[in-house]
Structure 1
């Protein structure tokens, strides 16, 4: 039975019939400490073994030899207890919940995009080819580049978690070798004051949506931040609201004006201190606001036009943009947005009255 080379050095396979079906049996070849050629069977494709896994095991052996370490006698023996990506992901999301992070939306991304492609695979067998295959499958479905990059980054986080918690014996996370898609991630769209008023009028008959929109436009909080607000987080006397930044695992202060303070006070008068102001399911909230945005702002826009489409995050962008337009110092905006890096806030500097716009307009006047 002839050996068939793979693209990996020292990795090959032989073809045979297993249970009436074609199968591949993988082997690795390396030099021992006496410079003699050693050929070792790794396993069959029907058992879940792949060429990239064999290459990883061969590299481990070669590295241990170079460092003068003892080789494990079962270094390439097939694992008895397979840890699938789904199992690692389950533990990953459970730990995030324990850290009080609202990750239901992120978990849905895993369930919809990663699980169908890689979920049942042994996590140790996921290599660059498999990660690239996931990326290509999402490209074919015409998802936005930013969405695809988010998915790969999520896979990266899960595999890193598995490595750190000994769920995987992988030495290097394969996602690190994959180039991310180029994307212009800057959202230029924000709502004018007139558009804000139109939006508030559109949700006037929906108390929960109206409260969400008003809090978003008044604090600039992300979706998860607004949904986390409890009655106890509001200081009605000083018109201060404590906001939780789940992205950066921190808390910060926002402010609400007299009108919104009165509105919120009336809205939550029957709530207990630990009760959340907004309990509408996030999917319902997203769907209802998406329909309103479509009617008011997104007519005839491509679904992947991130620059111009209005989405929930546009409300946060609007908060910062309107602050900049009225001349709010950039470091004050950074504090109100709870940005960790001033570079993130500087994107709004172009909207400042001191941006130089008035001088440019006078050039050829």
Structure 2
């Protein structure tokens, strides 16, 4: 790999990049730099990072703006001194995350923070961040390709970190996320699998028993990924052809029903399991990785809109959609999906056939 010397200007003032080429002279990456003037007017260049590391123009602009403000106000203190006397965002984030260790969401939040927020704002002095910095962070996250819902989740995390720090009197500044407009997005997925697509998917996993079992249970019960992976042999009632499902959002259990093909596979699979043993010997990450790959190959190759892509949650949406298409009453769908309110289920009502037509035609005869 070779870093070329030529600085290429971007559309944003003071931000440049240099290209990295491989042995075949093909550009494989780029390094972003910012240019600004120091206290006595000399031009300064500072390397920010590589595109492959998630660095984007929005983030570079944030760093350049902060640098210039500090120079203008005389706040460009040595980093060592600043860190000793003030908390960084990372210092506060670690304390905030420690409080969540008992929660099921802890691992996911920790991974998200380390992969993104730590790199983008972790080294910043917490009391120096202002509302405009968070607006810039929003733009950077979207530049990095994150969906609006994911970007909003990151901003909510930052707000939570600051709220905790303010309540514990670790910092005296205001929450820079306060009053920030939420990103508008529609995260409802209308995509569900047709009967033919269901057959395609089942055929694609038929060579691996536990993947096939996962797909069958998902299509038969509409259970979420986490709920399926925690199911045990004891949860199954073969006599009543049902299974207990744990809803990790509410920590309660509800009943799902098993169709004939799912029961057939479970009967075979459970012969080698002890009572109370989990149905799946493989981990959640393995199942998720394998099925996502299959779904991409089968259904998502040419799909641009993320919300029209087939994902694991599409199995749940397919379950409810086909119930509605087959005339299942909306309140029954609500119970089978374990929805908290009927409003959550009403999105499927548009798929239901016009069941009242026959009854209306039979009136007064």
TM-score normalised over the length of structure 2: 0.68
Would the aligned equivalents of 1:233 and 1:242 in 2 still touch at CA under 8 Å? yes
**Structure 1 contact 85–121 (Cα < 8 Å) conserved:** no
Number of the residue aligned with 2:303: 301
SS at match of 2:308: coil
Structure 1 residue 292, shift from structure 2 partner: 1.0
CA shift for structure 1 position 45: 7.4
Change (3 A) 1:83 1:290: closer
**Closer, same or farther: CA 125–171 of 1 in aligned 2, 3 Å:** closer
Q: Say which SS state the counterpart of residue 276 (structure 1) adopts.
A: coil
**2:215 paired residue number:** 213
Residue aligning to 1:148: 151
Distance 1:335 1:81, change over 3 A: same
Distance in 2 (CA, whole Å) between partners of 1:138 and 1:238 is: 49
Structure 1 distance, partners of 2:322, 2:147, is: 27
Distance 1:350 1:82, change over 3 A: closer
Number of equivalent positions: 292
Question: What is the CA-CA distance between 1:169 and the residue it aligns to?
Answer: 4.4
Supply the distance in 1 between the matched residues of 2:89 and 2:349 (Cα, whole angstroms): 52
Summarize the Cα distance change of 1:230–1:167 in structure 2 as closer, same or farther, 3 Å threshold.
farther
Matches of 2:149 and 2:328 in 1, distance apart? 30
**Residue number in structure 2 paired with 1:119:** 122
Q: CA deviation at 1:85?
A: 3.4
Cα distance, 1:190 vs structure 2:
0.2
1:4 matched residue in structure 2: none
Label 1:118 to 1:79 Cα distance change in 2 as closer, same or farther (>3 A).
Answer: closer
Which residue is 1:333 aligned to? 333
Describe how 1:244-255 pairs up with structure 2 within 5 A: 244-255=246-257
**Aligned Cα RMSD in Å?**
3.5
Q: Distance in 1 between matches of 2:114 and 2:200?
A: 36
> 1:356/1:182 Cα in 2 relative to 1: closer, same or farther (>3 Å)?
farther
Partner residue in 1 for 2:344: 344
Once the two structures are superposed, what CA deviation does each residue of 1:52-110 show, in whole Å capped at 9, x if it has no partner? Answer: xxxxxxxxxxxxxxxxxxxxxxxxx95589971331343144121xxxx2554443222
Q: TM-score, normalised by structure 1?
A: 0.68
What is the CA distance between 1:351 and its match in structure 2? Answer: 0.3
Q: Which residue of 2 aligns with 1:181?
A: 183
Give the drift of 1:126.
4.6
* 2:222 and 2:337 in contact (8 A); partners too: yes
Structure 2 partner of 1:323: 323
> Where does the alignment leave 5 or more consecutive residues of structure 1 unmatched?
1-14, 28-41, 50-76, 359-365
Distance 1:129 1:212 in 2: 46
Distance 1:122 1:279 in 2: 45
- Show CA shifts across 1:167-213 (max 9, x none): 74467643342222222322111001221111001000011211111
SS of 1:229's equivalent in the other structure is coil
What is the CA deviation profile of residues 297-323 of structure 1, one whole-angstrom value per residue up to 9, with x for unaligned ones?
Answer: 112111xx1332111111111111111
Q: Which residue of 2 aligns with 1:7?
A: none
Could you tell me how far apart the structure 1 residues matched to 2:88 and 2:294 are?
A: 50
Q: Alpha carbons of 1:103 and 1:193: their partners in 2 closer, same or farther (altered >3 Å)?
A: farther
